[in-house]
Amino acid sequence: MRMCFTVDEPKGLESVVSYHFGHAPYYVMVDVDGNRVTNVVSMENPMAGEHNPGDLPTFMKENGVNVIVSGGMGPRAQEYFASYGIRTVVGVYGKVKDVLEEYLNGNVEYALTASGEHHHYSDNEEIDRLVKEVKAIREQLAELKGVVKKLEEKVG
């Protein structure tokens, strides 16, 4: 199976998932066999600046993508992907490696459906979603703090 993640930086599995599918500057293509990653490729989005409806889903189909994962995607793009038999996973956040693990374990939740219907969060669901996002950001900050400390020890 080939999965494509929309990302903001070309850092492979360490990349953070982008919040917008079509304008994401990079993609991370991940080949998976069962639950084992067999290949990871970071690449520029060849149509990040401008594209016509359907161009990116066609590009993904031509590159053998089975699943596209993004923070957000419009219903029209989802319909194009569905017409090619490509599954869309949207509303996710965090690092590619973490989202991939969640997906492979069946723990990724969907924010939009391919029919274009929006999931309307209740206040409690929205709070829960935001709490999870804050937790992920805090974890990333903690990792960065540790890196900064190690660098400071090296330098000083």
Structure confidence at residue 36 (pLDDT): 94
Neighbouring C-beta atoms of residue 114, cutoff 10 Å: 19
Instruction: Mark whether 89 and 114 lie in a shared domain.
Output: yes
**Mean pLDDT per 10-residue section of the chain, whose length is 156 residues:** 94 90 90 95 84 81 95 86 92 89 79 42 62 68 75 85
Q: Which of 67, 65, 116, 60 is nearest to 89 (CA)?
A: 67
Alpha-carbon distance of 75 to 82, in angstroms, equals 10
Strands 36-44 and 26-33: antiparallel
Instruction: Mark whether 100 and 31 lie in a shared domain.
Output: yes
Question: Residue 91 — left, alpha, or beta (φ > 0 → left; ψ -120 to 50 → alpha)?
Answer: left
Instruction: Mark whether 113 and 130 lie in a shared domain.
Output: no
| Global confidence as pTM | 0.71
In angstroms, the Cα distances linking 84 to 22, 35, 61, 129, 139 are 17, 24, 7, 30, 36
Instruction: Mark whether 153 and 85 lie in a shared domain.
Output: no
Alpha-carbon distance of 8 to 103, in angstroms, equals 20
Domain of residue 21, CATH code: 3.30.420.130
Instruction: Mark whether 107 and 125 lie in a shared domain.
Output: no
Structure confidence at residue 120 (pLDDT): 43
12, 42 contact by CB (below 8 A): yes
Please give the tally of structural domains in the chain.
Answer: 2
Containing structural domain, residue 128: 120-156
Helix (H, G, I), strand (E, B) or coil at 78: helix
Residue with tokens 């998976």: 32
Structure confidence at residue 54 (pLDDT): 74
16, 7 contact by CB (below 8 A): yes
Instruction: Mark whether 68 and 143 lie in a shared domain.
Output: no
The CA-CA-CA angle for residues 37, 67, 58, to 5°, reads 125
Structure confidence at residue 69 (pLDDT): 93
Structure confidence at residue 84 (pLDDT): 94
Instruction: Mark whether 98 and 22 lie in a shared domain.
Output: yes
Instruction: Mark whether 98 and 132 lie in a shared domain.
Output: no
